């Protein structure tokens, strides 16, 4: 990307961070965040949909107020911003390109690490894309809880996110290990290994559809490289795995390493092959069979 475009995104981001209306909205958002993001679903469906482990990544929410449709994404790379925005907006606006779409960005705190420069770049690209004249959507940024707006510091100056994933707590809303999606380990493998599959290049992985109340884990291919990575990680201590695999070790959820070791176990013990996991490249689709039970 040209420097001029990057600088434009940086200037836009700074202006938004200092906008008095957004700053005022931010203070209100911090007070009762659990009431700000909601999805309209049929009564028997889930009432809340969000993203986890948003430490140095960014949760992007696009909401169509008129028809009450919402799309939520976990952004962790500048490479998926443009196509990801198109995927998200197409879910909520259909053919009505004049629809006003509220945008909320949460996460990406100012961690003291080399990843901060990557995060700054991601936030710059996001704001640049939202403001780009080539896009047809009518975006309105309503909340910008990123970088300095999502950072608190302890008495020693250590940085932590205000919306903290390490405790699993966001104002009266607690999510533990029982809150995983069906076939969660395959979903985790898909997320981790999808960079090897060119068909997913630049695209968001779409998992849960609130309208149909289905989990859909799309097919994804991977190489023996995942097996090698698993063998390499297996010999490391929990602390070494945390440092090696996390973009923000001090702010990760308590089961971060536990989940990685489950991933490692599956590849080493079961020697997982993508063609057997996704026969004929078909997705793994789960439908609800009860309030908390999904079946394939």
Local structure of 93: helix, strand or coil: helix
What is the structure's pLDDT at 108? 78
Local structure of 47: helix, strand or coil: coil
Q: What residue segments make up the domains of the chain, in order of their start? A: 1-175, 178-296
Q: Which of 165, 161, 127 is nearest to 30 (CA)?
A: 161
User: What are the mean pLDDT values of the chain's consecutive 10-residue runs (296 residues total)?
Assistant: 60 81 68 40 53 72 82 83 85 75 83 63 83 80 83 77 56 54 82 86 77 83 86 89 80 79 78 83 82 54
Are the CB atoms for 110 and 58 separated by under 8 Å?
no
Both tokens of 72, joined, read 């939520």
Q: Is the pTM of this model over 0.75?
A: no
Residues for the chain: how many in total? 296
Both tokens of 225, joined, read 């490289």
CATH topology for 1-175 is 60s Ribosomal Protein L30; Chain: A; (3.30.1330)
What is the structure's pLDDT at 173? 46
Residue 7: how many CB atoms within 10 A of its CB? Answer: 12
What is the structure's pLDDT at 237? 92
In eight-state DSSP terms, residue 60 is: E
What is the structure's pLDDT at 188? 83
What is the structure's pLDDT at 34? 39
CA-to-CA separations, 72 to 89, 94, 274, in angstroms, rounded:
10, 16, 27
User: Which strands form 138-147's sheet, in the order they lie side by side?
Assistant: 69-75, 58-64, 100-109, 138-147
Residues 6+ apart with CB under 8 A from 278: 219, 220, 284
Are the CB atoms for 169 and 177 separated by under 8 Å?
no
Strand partners, 22: none
How far apart are the C-alpha atoms of 94 and 69, rounded to whole Å? 11
């Amino acid at each position: 990307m040209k420097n001029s475009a990057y600088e434009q995104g940086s200037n836009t981001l700074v202006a938004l961070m200092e906008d008095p209306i957004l700053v005022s909205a931010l203070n209100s958002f911090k007070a009762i965040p659990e009431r700000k993001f909601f999805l309209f679903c049929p009564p028997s469906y889930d009432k809340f949909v969000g993203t986890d482990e948003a430490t140095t990544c960014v949760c992007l929410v696009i909401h169509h107020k008129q028809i009450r449709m919402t799309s939520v994404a976990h952004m962790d790379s500048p490479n998926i911003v443009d196509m990801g925005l198109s995927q998200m907006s197409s879910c909520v606006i259909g053919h009505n390109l004049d629809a006003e779409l509220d945008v909320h960005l949460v996460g990406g705190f100012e961690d003291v690490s080399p990843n901060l420069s990557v995060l700054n770049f991601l936030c710059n690209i996001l704001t640049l894309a939202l403001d780009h004249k080539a896009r047809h959507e009518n975006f309105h940024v309503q909340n910008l809880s990123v970088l300095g707006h999502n950072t608190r510091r302890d008495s020693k100056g250590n940085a932590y996110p205000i919306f903290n994933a390490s405790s699993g707590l966001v104002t009266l809303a607690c999510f533990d290990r029982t809150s995983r999606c069906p076939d969660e380990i395959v979903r985790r493998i898909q997320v981790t290994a999808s960079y090897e599959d060119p068909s997913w290049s630049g695209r968001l992985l779409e998992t849960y559809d609130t309208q149909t109340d289905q989990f859909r884990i799309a097919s994804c291919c991977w190489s023996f490289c995942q097996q090698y990575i698993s063998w390499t990680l297996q010999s490391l201590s929990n602390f070494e795995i945390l440092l090696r695999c996390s973009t923000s070790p001090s702010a990760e959820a308590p089961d971060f390493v536990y989940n990685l070791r489950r991933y490692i176990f599956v590849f080493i013990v079961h020697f997982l092959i993508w063609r057997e996991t996704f026969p004929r490249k078909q997705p793994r689709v789960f439908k609800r069979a009860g309030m908390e039970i999904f079946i394939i």
